[in-house]
Structure 1
Amino acid sequence: MPETTAIYIHGHHESVLRSHSWRTAQNSASYLLPYIQPNMHILDIGCGPGTITLDFATLVGPTGHITGIEPSPGDILTQARETATSRGITNVEFKTGDIFELEEMFKNRRFDIVHVHQVLQHIDRERVSEALMQMRAVTKPGGIIAVREADFVATTWFPASAGMTEWMDTYQLVARANGGEPDAGRRLVSWALGAGFARDKITTSAGTWCYSTPDEREWWSRMWADRTLSSDFKTTALKSGLVDEEKLNRIADTWTEWGKSEEGWFAILHGEIICRVDT
């Protein structure tokens, strides 16, 4: 049985941070940018190395403020703080915090925007609406909740291969065994309704990541090959009993081969929602 709250399937291995550090507000939260105004206070949940968080900080200006939280203390928050220092950004703080404890953590604080990116897919799928209710509890009246989640089953690639299909099937099995929901993007409206948001308070959109140039293919394929063999994904996959070392090695080799293909193309679909908080 899964734990009450799913453990992040990839962990914070270098191969994972390689991907997370690539993320920016522009390539991972463009749907939210029109809503961000100077002076706003934003909570970024699951901030990781803080690249999106720090972009938000530059957008709200010196009188705005951003708070980024991660569920476990460690090097990841140290890296985020060091990046903030290197970029000269001071209107930001990084703290340890859990999405299910927001109301307790921020008793006397409310935010204009509460944001998550690639977080809900990794928590206990039976508690996602509860997480959204916690997010609403720390949002100011008139504020918004912004969510962007991948929809893995909608991921597509070329050229087709049995190996890439095996990777997708394996990822789906392991993610669900870990308690999460890899096809979260399509479920965002349903989850928001379950959290008590009226349908006319929910705005939906979709975004993509696409990798096809030689540099993009090399970076993306190497990252996934390394994740498969070196990140917490391997530990989680083996612990689940759904895969063995041979299969993981085969999947890593598949990624390497895909990256070498000049006709290679890979795209990930994301669901996006803006939920308006009136009271």
Structure 2
Amino acid sequence: MTVYIHGHHQSVLASHGARTAASSAAYLLPHLHPGDRVLDLGCGPGSITLDLAEAVGPEGRVVGVDAAAAAVASARDAAAARGDTTTVFEVADAYALAFEDASFDVAHAHQVMQHLADPVAALRELARVVRPGGLVAFRDADYGGMTWHPASPGLTRWLETYRAAARLAGGEPDGGRHTLAWARAAGLTDIVPTTTTWSYATPEARSWWGGQWVERATRSSYAAATVAAGLNTQEDLQAIAQAWRQWADDEDGWFVMVHGEVLARVP
């Protein structure tokens, strides 16, 4: 059984809710068309899903699914706030989707496969519900590829303990480098692998990125999981949070997150 290492603390939902299709699914957007039927797996608080719905227009059909009821509730609230009454959000199992074969033209998943014990099985399930010739698109971070400046023992400990806890939970935190291999193993065709980054270096970006990790380092499921596994003590978590504060306040602070992404066809 895979446990979602981030959990659904408000700081996590707020962070995920800041994601947009432009920042997180730019590789997919040119391939969407008005009227497309789109499934968004692991939709979280729905910000990307709702952007995808705008891309396919009112004649399209968009469904966002997530394993967590809290995330689905947040996504429904986001849809109401946007005045979107057509996008559907449901609780679902990535390995057993409640949709008939070939129900969608496009299936999308952002930062999902890295958290699953069997990402290939999940991709095969996405392929099942997409019509032949349709698209499967997914993007995952690679924690092992994250870099920052200045050097920080606290951030090094954060990354080491996050990766260890994620693997104990059944996931692969360095998922970005595996995206091509997972797509090939799932039997997808016409695979186009690409790489993009998120970077945080402006004062505003550092404040936001560092600030939400201060919260997540002490209050999220990551914090609880690392303590439960003996990877951190509460004192360690406080030191990690302080390291994030110091990084965010440093005028030279710089952080980059690498992502692997795949656009592929269903045979």
Pairwise same-fold verdict (TM > 0.5)? yes
Q: 2:11 aligns with which of 12, 15, 19?
A: 15
Partner of 1:111: 104
Q: Verify: 1:220 aligned to 2:216, yes or no.
A: no
Aligned partners of 2:124, 2:102: CA distance in 1, in Å?
A: 16
> The residue matched to 1:166 in structure 2 has which SS?
helix
Q: Percentage identity across aligned positions?
A: 44
Q: Contact 1:228–1:252 at 8 Å: present in 2 too?
A: yes
Query: What whole-Å deviation, never above 9, does each CA across 1:115-157 have from its counterpart, x for those lacking one?
Result: 0000111111xx1111111111001111010000001111111
Q: Distance in 2 between matches of 1:139 and 1:16?
A: 30
Q: What secondary structure, in the 3-state scheme, does the structure 1 residue paired with 2:96 have?
A: helix
Aligned to 2:193: 204
Instruction: Kindly state the Cα deviation for residue 82 of structure 1 after the two structures are TM-superposed.
Output: 2.0
Structure 1: any 5+ residue segments left out of the alignment? none
Separation in structure 2 between the aligned mates of residue 32 and residue 56 of structure 1, nearest angstrom = 9
1:78 Cα shift? 2.1
Change (3 A) 1:230 1:256: same
Contact 1:64 1:91 in 2 (8 A): no
User: For the residues of structure 1 that align with 2:183 and 2:102, how far apart are their CA atoms?
Assistant: 22
Q: CA deviation at 1:250?
A: 1.1
Deviation at 1:79, TM superposition (A): 2.2
Per-residue deviation, 1:109: 5.5
Q: Deviations over 1:14-43 (max 9, x none)?
A: 110121011000001101011110000100
1:79 matches 2:74: yes
How far, CA to CA, are the matches of 1:254 and 1:48 in structure 2?
28
| Contact 2:103/2:130 (8 A) holds in 1 | yes
What amino acid is the match of 1:214? P
Matched-pair contact (CA < 8 Å) for 1:122–1:179: yes
Please name the residue that 1:137 is paired with: 128
Pick closer, same or farther for the CA change 1:210–1:11 going to 2, 3 Å: same
- Aligned pair 1:276/2:245, yes or no? no
Alpha-carbon RMSD across the aligned residues, in angstroms, is 1.2
Q: TM-score, normalised by structure 2?
A: 0.97
Indicate the residue corresponding to 1:259 in structure 2: 248
In structure 2, stretches of 5+ residues that fail to align are none
In the alignment, the residues of structure 2 paired with residue 170 and residue 215 of structure 1 have an alpha-carbon distance, to the nearest angstrom, of 27
Aligned partner of 1:28 in structure 2 is 24
Cα distance in 2 for residues equivalent to 1:267 and 1:44: 25
Structure 1, residues 196-249: CA drift from partner, whole Å, max 9, x if none?
A: 234xx2101111111111111111111111101011111111122222212111
Q: 1:59 aligns to what SS in structure 2?
A: helix
- Runs of 4 or more above 6 Å deviation: none
Q: Which amino acid aligns with 2:217?
A: T
- The whole-number CA distance in structure 1 between the counterparts of 2:35 and 2:145 is 37
Distance in 2 separating the partners of 1:79 and 1:121: 22
Alpha-carbon shift at residue 108 of structure 1 (Å): 5.7
Which residue pairs with 2:225 in the alignment? 236
Letter in 1 for 2:242: D
2:63 maps to which residue? 67
Are the counterparts in 2 of residues 58 and 89 from structure 1 also a CA contact under 8 Å? no
Provide the secondary structure at the position in 2 that maps to 1:147: strand
Spell out, residue by residue over 1:87-118, the C-alpha distance to the aligned partner (whole angstroms, 9 max, x if none).
1222310001010002xx10266111100000
Paired residues in the alignment total 267
Return the match for 1:52 from 48, 51, 65.
48
| Equivalences for residues 115-130 of structure 1 within 5 A | 115-124=108-117, 127-130=118-121
Q: Residue type matched to 1:271 in 2?
A: G
Deviates more, 1:84-93 or 1:18-27: 84-93
- Report deviation, 1:13: 0.5
The answer to whether the Cα contact below 8 Å between 2:101 and 2:131 also exists between their aligned partners in 1 is no
Number of the residue aligned with 2:237: 248
Work out whether residues 101 and 128 of structure 2, in 8 Å CA contact, stay in contact via their aligned partners in 1: no
Contact 2:50 2:79 in 1 (8 A): yes
Q: What is the identity, as a one-letter code, of the residue corresponding to 1:113?
A: V
User: Do 1:24 and 1:51's aligned partners in 2 also have CA atoms closer than 8 Å?
Assistant: yes
